[in-house]
Every structure is written in C-alpha cells, then in structure tokens.
Amino acid sequence: MTDRTKQPEIKEIDDIKLPSPKKDTLSNGIRTYCFENPNLDLIYLLLQFRTGTLHQTKKHVCQYAFQLLRESSRHYMPEEMEERLDFFGTNITTNIGLDKVQVMITIPKRNIGNILPDICDFLTNPAYRENSLQLYKERELKNLAYNEQKTDFLSWRLLWRELFGKSLPEIFKFSSPETINAVNIGDLATFQRAVCCAENMTLFFTGNVDNETERIIHDNFSRIPQGEKSAAPPVIQPWTEGRTIYQEMPGCLQSSIVLCVPMAGYNDPERSKFSVLSTIAGGYFGSRLMQKLRERQGFTYGVSAASAYFGSQSVFAISSDVNAKDTAAAVDSCFEELELLQKEPVPQKELATVKTYMTGLNLRSIDTSVNAMQKFAIYHHFGLDETEMERNIAEIKEVAADDIQDLAKKHFSYNKFNRIIVGENRE
C-alpha cells in the first residue's frame, strides 16, 4: 500500500518535444498544420485570425462580429443553425484577444462533410441580423451592469486604458450603454470583410484525419476569399512610471490591486528566464507572494504574477483581491518581496522546485494532440515553430540564481511599476 505520508520521488523530466505537424498551403494561401491522431474520432479545428481588439476601429466591433457569426448564416435562421450544430454534434467556441482571435470547432469525424460547409459559409459570407445584434446588446448591457460592481473588472479596465488610451482612445474608453448601443450591422460587416480573409487566417487541426477528411477540410477552407493582411497592432504609448491610479468604491469589502509594468515581447531573449522569476514571485501556489499575502498575512485568497504578450511587447502584472482594510499593507508586502528578490539570490532548493514545476507544466501542455496543437498555435502566432519548446525548457533548466537576481534588479524596481487600486479608501 502506498504510504501517503511520504513525498513521492521527484524525477528529472527529459526529452520533451512538441510533435511536428504536417504542413500544407491551400490554393488561397492559407497555411495549414495537421497533428494526426488516429485514436481521436473528434476533429478539432483551430482557426487563428490575425486580428483582435487592438485592430478594431470602433469599440466592441471585434467581439460582436465574431460572437455573432454562428447566428449569421445566409441559409438558416439562428435557431435553425443551432439545431444543425446540435444535430451534428458540433461545438464552436471563440476566444478574442488583443492581437488574435481563435475559433475552435469540434466536429465528429463522420459529420464533418455535413456541417463544415455551413460553418465556412457564415465565416466568409455572414448575414448579420438586427434581432441577433439587439439580443446580444441586451446581454452585454446586463454584463456591464454586473461587472461594474466588481473591483477586479474595474482595475483591469484601468490598466488597459493606461496602456492604450492615448493611442486608441475610441477603443479603450470605458464601456457604457452608449458604446454598446452604438455598434450597428454595417460596422460588423465592414470589420468582418476586412479580417476574415486568407491573409489573416491560419488553420490548425487534429484528430483521425484520413485522406477524405483532409480533402473536405482543404476544399472548404480553400473557398475563404483573399484580402489584405491586417497591420501590426499599435505599441504601448510612453508610460509614466511610478504612479498610483486609484478608483474608490465605497462600501466594498475587498480592494483589487494591479501592480504593472510594460515589458518586451514573446521573442525577447530573456523571456524564458524572466518566466522563472515571475513564477517564483507569484506564478504558482507555492510562490513567495502567495506564501506571504495568503498564508502568513491572511490578506487574500490568492495572488498571481504573469505576463500578457501581444504584438512585439507585453505587460507584467501582479494582481490580487485583498481585504479592504489591508490594501496599503498588501501593496507594501508585494514590493517587499520584489525587493528581496533583488537583494538576495534565490536558494537552490526553491529554484530547483520552480524549475521542476515549470518543466512539468510544459509536459502537461502537450499531453494530448489537442493541447499540442494549441501550444504550437501560440508559437506560430509569434513566428516560432515546434523547436521553441525544447529551447524554452533548456533555458529554464540552465537559469541560475544570479540570473534571477539580475533580472529582478532590472525589472522589479519600485519606481518602474504603476499601482492600480480599486476599492474603499480606509487609510
């Protein structure tokens, strides 16, 4: 019987490789990447578009245009299209980011020839309907009213406005009933025609893809029209460092804090090493910030530290919801830990634990062909290939305590961060 009072032996993970996909180019120029899995009779298609909220010219348009596609078939009313999707066991999810949009489509292999033509048709020739748009606006108005009572929503809204509000004032002004209702059918159609073209799309798929299934996929996506490639997303405007941006919400029990600083992009040579520093600081349950703010001080249920990458840059942010009365103390505690990382080398045992944790995360991220496809899609978005995983893991394993300390000195200075706080001022 297993003795659960003893920690299992920790073994070194070696030779983690992201599988190489089968690559092809359709007649219209769309690049395709197939991760074959003969044991998977569900076909997963991941459509990645070179667009996002940073590319839109009017607030909300990107979100509305993609979320309403499945209700915009030329040949079926929305309820009829939903019935067809259900009948053929098809699921569609959409993820809208700053500089990319991903549409994941899951179809049983036996049904792909029946439903994929319908999907490709509303992707390229949507008939947006006023009724669908109005219903979506009603949902968004309710979501906005709910979210505006949440301090975490408001803190991140302040962050994105600080980053892009000067360069993109139309897009990053605060959502309101007026901005929600200002979107019209013409806005959606114009945006969709500009971005849903072969030049802005990459196709990834996995499953039991035989010759006939591959032919159906290629034939349908070859009909995607050609157009113009979207421009690169705008860069962050000059950042005034060391500011505190405060929004008061009287009566709330918690405050949301975001400590943030712009940084280099995904292709920066220091990214892998910085990810180790970020994980030590606040990137996993045993992190320094989690141990201090949650376990020792009881200020919060959780705290995180991570980078959001987009275009050629990123923003690093430490975020947490803390007891309102402890807001100032929690901010001070965060910076105390960041300062400690600058002053003292990370102990070897702690560094080894984080390296093992991060290597394990990499292994789990490719444990199925669907996950491997999604990981590859991230690399591809930033101009990298499947060899990036090996390089990333090698750099994680090689990073030394001195490297971590040097990076902390370079990036974790108190004066570099802006401090965003939403809550009740109880000082």
Asked if the structure places residue 194 within a domain, the reply is yes
Tell me: do 263 and 311 sit in the same domain: yes
* Helical (H) or strand (E) element with 404: helix 401-411
Mean pLDDT of 139-165: 94
**Domain that residue 104 falls in:** 22-221
Asked if the structure places residue 411 within a domain, the reply is yes
In angstroms, the CA 48 to CA 233 distance is 16
How many Cβ atoms sit within 10 Å of the Cβ of residue 228?
10
Which pLDDT band holds residue 4 (cuts at 50, 70, 90)? confident
Amino acid at 102: Q
pLDDT tens digit string along 328-340?
A: 999 999 999 999 9
Tell me: do 278 and 207 sit in the same domain: no
pLDDT tens digit string along 360-376?
A: 999 999 999 999 999 99
Which pLDDT band holds residue 234 (cuts at 50, 70, 90)? confident
Asked if the structure places residue 11 within a domain, the reply is no
Give, in degrees to the nearest 5, the angle at Cα 247 between 244 and 249: 145
Which pLDDT band holds residue 237 (cuts at 50, 70, 90)? confident
Tell me: do 89 and 206 sit in the same domain: yes
Tell me: do 46 and 170 sit in the same domain: yes
Q: Is the pLDDT of residue 292 over 70?
A: yes
Residue % of the chain over a pLDDT of 70:
98
Tell me: do 170 and 112 sit in the same domain: yes
Q: Is the pLDDT of residue 169 over 90?
A: no
Tell me: do 66 and 194 sit in the same domain: yes
Weakest mean pLDDT among 30-39, 120-129, 214-223, 235-244? 235-244
Q: Is the pLDDT of residue 66 over 60?
A: yes
Weakest mean pLDDT among 149-158, 162-171, 177-186, 294-303? 162-171
Sheet architecture: strand order including 254-264: 244-248, 418-423, 254-264, 313-323, 300-310
Q: Please, are residues 255 and 421 in contact by the beta-carbon 8 Å criterion? A: yes
Tell me: do 268 and 124 sit in the same domain: no
pLDDT of 114: 97
pLDDT of 425: 63
Which pLDDT band holds residue 5 (cuts at 50, 70, 90)? confident
Asked if the structure places residue 2 within a domain, the reply is no
pLDDT of 339: 97
Tell me: do 284 and 145 sit in the same domain: no
Q: Please, are residues 289 and 306 in contact by the beta-carbon 8 Å criterion? A: no
In angstroms, the CA 366 to CA 376 distance is 9
Q: Please, are residues 29 and 199 in contact by the beta-carbon 8 Å criterion? A: yes
Direct distance between the N- and C-terminal alpha carbons of the chain, in angstroms, rounded to an integer:
55
pLDDT of 52: 94
169: left (phi over 0), alpha (psi -120 to 50) or beta: alpha
Asked if the structure places residue 32 within a domain, the reply is yes
Query: Which long-range contacts (C-beta less than 8 Å, at least 24 apart) are formed by 385-388?
Result: 386/17, 386/18, 386/19, 386/20, 386/21, 387/18, 388/18
**Positions of E strands within 76-216:** 91-96, 101-108, 201-207
Helix, strand, coil shares, percent, the chain, to 5? 45, 20, 35
pLDDT of 6: 80
Asked if the structure places residue 3 within a domain, the reply is no
Tokens of 306: 């991570």
Q: Please, are residues 98 and 159 in contact by the beta-carbon 8 Å criterion? A: no
Tell me: do 305 and 196 sit in the same domain: no
Residue % of the chain over a pLDDT of 90:
86
Tokens of 331: 């901010």
Q: What is the CATH number of the domain that holds 384?
A: 3.30.830.10
pLDDT of 400: 97
Which pLDDT band holds residue 238 (cuts at 50, 70, 90)? confident
pLDDT of 426: 55
- Please tell me the total count of domains within the chain: 2
Q: What is the average pLDDT value for the chain, to the nearest integer?
A: 93
Domain's final residue, options 170, 186, 221: 221
Tell me: do 215 and 88 sit in the same domain: yes
Instruction: Name which of 298, 273, 226, 263 is nearest 406 in CA terms.
Output: 273
pLDDT of 72: 96
Return the C-alpha torsion angle 23, 25, 29, 33, nearest 10. -30
Mean pLDDT of 89-113: 97
Mean pLDDT of 241-249: 90
pLDDT of 291: 96
Tell me: do 197 and 275 sit in the same domain: no
Residue 38 C-beta-side C-alpha neighbours within 13 Å: 2
Q: Is the pLDDT of residue 11 over 80?
A: no
Which pLDDT band holds residue 251 (cuts at 50, 70, 90)? confident
In angstroms, the CA 107 to CA 90 distance is 5
Mean pLDDT of 254-273: 94
Asked if the structure places residue 226 within a domain, the reply is no
Q: Where are the alpha helices (DSSP H) in 292-387?
A: 327-343, 348-364, 369-381
Instruction: Name which of 344, 361, 365, 363 is nearest 353 in CA terms.
Output: 361
pLDDT of 1: 67
- Residue 32, strand partner residues: 24, 203
pLDDT of 15: 72
Which pLDDT band holds residue 47 (cuts at 50, 70, 90)? very high
Tell me: do 181 and 85 sit in the same domain: yes
Asked if the structure places residue 349 within a domain, the reply is yes
Q: Please, are residues 152 and 319 in contact by the beta-carbon 8 Å criterion? A: yes
pLDDT of 162: 87
Tokens of 318: 């430490």
**Positions of E strands within 160-242:** 201-207
